[in-house]
Amino acid sequence: MSRNLSASQAAAVLGVSVKALRLYERAGLIAPGRTAAGWRIYAPDAMARAREIAALRGLGVALREIGPMLDADPGAGLARHEARLRSEAGRIAEAIGRLRAMRPAGGEATTIAFDLPWPWGGERFELRGLPPILWLTGPLGSGKTRLAMRIAESLPGGHFVGLDRDRPVEALIAEGEGPLVVDMVEEGLDAEEQVALAARLRARPVPARPLVLMTRSSAMLDLGMVGAGEAIILCPANHSPPVYVDPVPGAPGYEALATCLAAPEVRARTAGVIAIRS
């Protein structure tokens, strides 16, 4: 049997405040019923409407836009809002890039600089500081392994660990203090183990041994989990110089970055495939 809810009950079910329900009402988006004593009541149809409104507000849609969106074509309205969010994300990413460029020396000084190896054409590459975790990714044949090895050679105390390692990554991390560069950190781990390892590496106390981790796994490099102590370098498929990419949808290079990462079960299909220089 359907049940009418009071304003406080409706707000609790929806996860919003009673004030928010009043705002929806004043905007003409919902019309609650009234008891004989004049108290507002929310019938199931009003609750269904309020759920849609609350969901859209959670996505950042303005109240003035919600009415036309729900009464006309919600799909078209959502598409417009998505385009607006992507545009805003792009502007934010550009602003972050400009701020980084303006940051005074010492805030994120160049740690190393060298000429890029093959398959690049010797362009100059600069590593801007070294966070606790620097992710390195790119498609097959992009040169990321050669870049990782050059980074390890150039960093003071740097050490490169290849796929022939005979101990778990965490054991190797515990053995030294200098920067550790790891080839395909997800190698030999299933999805659950990868997620757990990524969480433990992020939770290390600061200061922690700097890590440069090659990966193509979305379980290791979950773009939604990247924190302040991490950075990402992408080696593009066309062998243009490696670039830093912010894990923000709409940021320059984000889509190319996202397509380089796949779930462990997808990555398993190409296990053992290597790129060979002709």
Q: Which helix (H) or strand (E) holds 18?
A: helix 18-26
Contacts of 27 (CB under 8 A, 6+ apart): 63, 64, 66, 67
Two structure tokens written together for 103 = 């940051």
Contacts of 105 (CB under 8 A, 6+ apart): none
Give SS3 for 71: helix
Tens of pLDDT along the chain (278 residues) come to: 358 999 999 999 999 999 999 999 999 999 999 999 999 999 999 999 999 999 888 888 888 888 888 887 777 777 887 887 777 777 777 676 666 555 544 444 557 999 999 999 999 999 988 899 999 999 999 999 999 999 999 999 999 999 999 999 999 999 988 999 999 999 999 999 999 999 999 999 888 899 999 999 999 999 988 988 899 999 999 999 999 998 888 888 999 999 999 998 887 776 655 544 43
The pLDDT tens digits for 107-162 are: 445 579 999 999 999 999 999 888 999 999 999 999 999 999 999 999 999 999 99
Domains and CATH numbers, the chain: 5-72 (1.10.1660.10), 107-270 (3.40.50)
Sheet containing 33-34: which strands, arranged edge to edge? 5-6, 40-42, 33-34
Contacts of 226 (CB under 8 A, 6+ apart): 135, 232, 247
